[in-house]
Amino acid sequence: MRRLLAPALALILAAPTPAVAEEAAPAAEAPPPLPQWGRGPLEVRDPFILSLSRLSPWARSPAISPHLGGEVGVRGVWANSYAFADDRYVLDAEVRQLWAYARVGGWDRVELGLHLPYEWRGGGVMDGFIEGFHSAFGLPDMDRDRRPRDRFLVTGVQRDGSVFSLDHPGYGFSDLIVEPRVLLYQGDALLPAASLTARLRLPTGRRKFQLSDGVDASIALDLSKRLGTLPLVAYATLAYTYHAHAHVGGLRLARHRFLASIGLEWEITPLVSLVVHTWLETPNVRGLYDDPPPPGAGPAKLSFGNYVSYVAVGFRAEPLPGLLVDLGILENILDPETTADFGVLANVAYRF
């Protein structure tokens, strides 16, 4: 028996031991969640000649500068305003603005911004281009051919018989705008990102522009939501503005105003986005335009209650890390008498 067991035991002891199971490879780390914002809509406020004397808010992405980070840049707007009514008023002007701005993050969720516009106002050179554009696409020209081209004239008679005139062509700095901002929520799979923005217009501009005295104040809620994992981001803004004065240059203006905006960004590539947004503001001017159409009058009258409405569309690109370049256009959509007729936008900024 011993002779039989010895070889078997030797074979068992000589057999290789089973391999120890390798430790399970660590699970691959999940990619970080996509932010609930992109590069944001084009930042542009109403460039209408009758809106420049006071504060106008604008749509923004909820994103803010990080702690001790910031953004500096310039925003360029070139817009033409035109409205004409027999024996009532003529609003014929061109505006070119170059906004210098700076933003810095003080804490993780707080940002402070400063905006200083430099403006030129005059007759301009765009009238012929706009007439040709309207003619090519069969759009109404609002009797542009009855007015001299490229002439500055902003005057009229209001419905109560009072006369107004804004005789302020020329160039110079407009009013400084202070913009504190706080990120309320970064957003998640269900809820949008949200930021609260306050804006104060300080009367620092040149008096020849007939700017409003006093301090205008505005507060805005900016929202954004990524559509799942798609390269699409939706934006919305709600704003309320209180104006210190309701009369500028004899013109009767609304003191309380509201703005609503919606927009969409398509991230075409990691470097380029196509953005579009539209906004609607309650009337700025009181007692100048025709009365709004009565209920049930139908769409024949274009004025739509004298509301201010625009659409801005363009591209936002980041050719180098931190360098942002925007190109776009601005067009009115409801009432050509209460808004700028056409505008071109160009912005350059650097984020650090």
Neighbouring residues of 16: CB distance < 8 A, sequence distance ≥ 6: none
Residue by residue, DSSP assigns 199-226 as EEEES-S-GGG-PPPS-EEEEEEEEEEE
Q: pLDDT per residue over 337-348, tens digit each? A: 899 988 999 999
In the three-class reduction of DSSP (H, G, I as helix; E, B as strand; rest coil), residue 134 is classed as: helix
Q: For residue 144, what are the domain limits?
A: 33-351
Count of CB atoms situated within 10 Å of the CB of 333: 13
Q: What is the mean pLDDT of residues 53-61?
A: 96
Higher per-residue pLDDT: 127 or 200? 200
pLDDT of residue 295: 55
Q: Is 18 within the bounds of a domain?
A: no
Residue 4 pLDDT class (50, 70, 90 cuts): very low
pLDDT value, residue 17? 42
Three-state DSSP class for residue 136: helix
pLDDT, greater one: 2 or 258: 258
Q: Contact, 117 vs 45, CB < 8 A?
A: no
Place of tokens 């913009």: 179
The CA angle 340-343-349, to the nearest 5 degrees, is: 125
d(CA 92, CA 39): 34
Length of the chain: 352
> What pLDDT shows up at residue 169?
82
Reported as type and span, the H/E element at residue 4 is helix 2-14
Q: Per-residue pLDDT for 192 more than 90?
A: yes
Q: Is 300 helix (H, G, I), strand (E, B) or coil?
A: coil
Is 144's pLDDT higher than 60? no
**Beta strands at 256-267 and 232-242: parallel, antiparallel or unpaired:** antiparallel
- Band (pLDDT 50/70/90 cuts) for residue 141 is low
Structurally, how many domains does the chain consist of? 1
Q: What is the pLDDT of residues 63-92, one digit of tens each?
A: 999 999 999 999 999 999 888 887 788 888
DSSP-derived secondary structure letter, 260: E
Joined tokens for residue 2: 């011993």
Mean local confidence (pLDDT), 200-226 = 92
For residue 5, what pLDDT is reported? 42
Q: How many helices (H) and strands (E) does the chain have?
A: 2, 17
What integer is the mean pLDDT of 293-304? 50
Does residue 264 lie in a domain region?
yes
Domain containing residue 53: CATH number? 2.40.160.40
List C-alpha distances in Å: 150 to 125, 147, 157, 161, 253. 6, 9, 22, 28, 26
Residue 237 CB neighbour total at 10 angstroms: 25
CB 313 within 8 A of CB 285: no
Percent of the chain with pLDDT over 70: 79
Q: What is the pTM of this model?
A: 0.83
How far is CA 287 from each of CA 247, 253, 264, rounded to the nearest angstrom? 12, 8, 35
24 lies in some domain: no
In a domain, 1, yes or no: no
End-to-end CA distance of the chain: 86
CA-CA distances (angstroms) from residue 38 to 73, 231, 317, 352? 18, 9, 11, 17
Q: For residue 95, tell me if it sits in a domain.
A: yes
Distance CA 348, CA 318 (A): 10
Residue 286: both structure tokens together: 């009181």
Question: Two tokens at 83?
Answer: 């409205």
